[in-house]
Amino acid sequence: MAGRPIAYNREHILTSAKNLFWERGYAGASLDKLTQTMGVSKSTFYSVFQNKDALFTLCLTEYGKSFFKQILQYVMERPSTLAALKEFYIESSTGRFKNANGCFLVSAANELGSTHPTLSALTHEMLKLTQSTLKTALELAVRKGELPNYLNCEKIALKLLNTWCGIQTINRCGFPQGDTHYLIEGTFNSLEHS
């Protein structure tokens, strides 16, 4: 009977854990705070999730899947792929997609990049998937004639990933929105004039 509420509330429990990790980071989310936030006992936590690393992996992976889908859906729904991608970047830094804690993936990469080999490998993989998602969007822009077909979409996607990580990091550090817009405008202007 104890397992039943977990299955029923799994999405809520994972969202609670993800939000705590997102707000406090991996190190700042203690097991006591996680179980309290998730509303589960420690024995239930260990029986369902095994350990904190496994839970974090699950939360970050689910976040990534949703994030990649969100990017592609956003650009597919608009006539101009390149304009939509730029708008997505702006919205993520100042508009409806903005989160006070920045991008969960970027925050995790910044925190765990050199301190936790297993989770560092996960963040690397997720960033590569972000690059791949951006490459897919750029290839669509090429097919629509918005970008020249000689561009190396993989390298341009890396540049866009770099800009994404930069704006998320400086946003979280409290830089003015004008600085964020400067980075976004510069990146997309260089694409439009390539």
Task: Report the pLDDT value the prediction gives residue 1, as an integer from 0 to 100.
Answer: 41
Q: What is the pTM of this model?
A: 0.87
| DSSP label at residue 148 | -
Instruction: Compute the mean pLDDT over every residue in the chain, rounded to the nearest whole number.
Output: 88
- Render pLDDT for 152-179 as a digit per residue (tens, 0 to 9): 999 999 999 999 999 888 888 888 888 8
- What is the DSSP track for 113-137? TTT-HHHHHHHHHHHHHHHHHHHHH
In a domain, 33, yes or no: no
Distance (Å, whole) CA 90 – CA 187: 12
- pLDDT surpassing 50 at residue 3: no
Task: Report the pLDDT value the prediction gives residue 96, as an integer from 0 to 100.
Answer: 63
CATH number at residue 92: 1.10.357.10
- Render pLDDT for 115-151 as a digit per residue (tens, 0 to 9): 888 899 999 999 999 999 999 999 999 999 999 999 9
In a domain, 27, yes or no: no
**CB of 56 closer than 8 Å to CB of 135:** no
- Render pLDDT for 18-61 as a digit per residue (tens, 0 to 9): 999 999 999 999 999 999 999 888 988 998 899 999 999 999 99
In a domain, 92, yes or no: yes
Task: Report the pLDDT value the prediction gives residue 102, as an integer from 0 to 100.
Answer: 82
Which domain covers residue 87, as residue numbers? 51-192
In a domain, 100, yes or no: yes
C-alpha neighbours within 13 Å on the C-beta side of residue 189: 6
In a domain, 82, yes or no: yes
| pLDDT average, residue stretch 171-193 | 85
Total domains, the chain = 1
**Helix extents (H) in the chain:** 3-8, 10-28, 31-38, 42-49, 52-76, 81-94, 104-112, 117-143, 153-172, 177-192
In a domain, 120, yes or no: yes
**CB of 179 closer than 8 Å to CB of 90:** no
In a domain, 43, yes or no: no
Lookup result for tokens 């804690």: 101
Measured CA to CA in angstroms, residue 21 lies from 31, 40, 77, 121 at distances of: 11, 16, 31, 17
- Render pLDDT for 64-113 as a digit per residue (tens, 0 to 9): 999 899 899 989 889 999 999 999 998 888 766 667 778 899 999 999 98
Distance (Å, whole) CA 147 – CA 138: 8
Q: Which tokens is 31 given?
A: 């097991």
> Residue 181 — very low, low, confident or very high, per pLDDT cuts 50/70/90?
confident
In a domain, 90, yes or no: yes
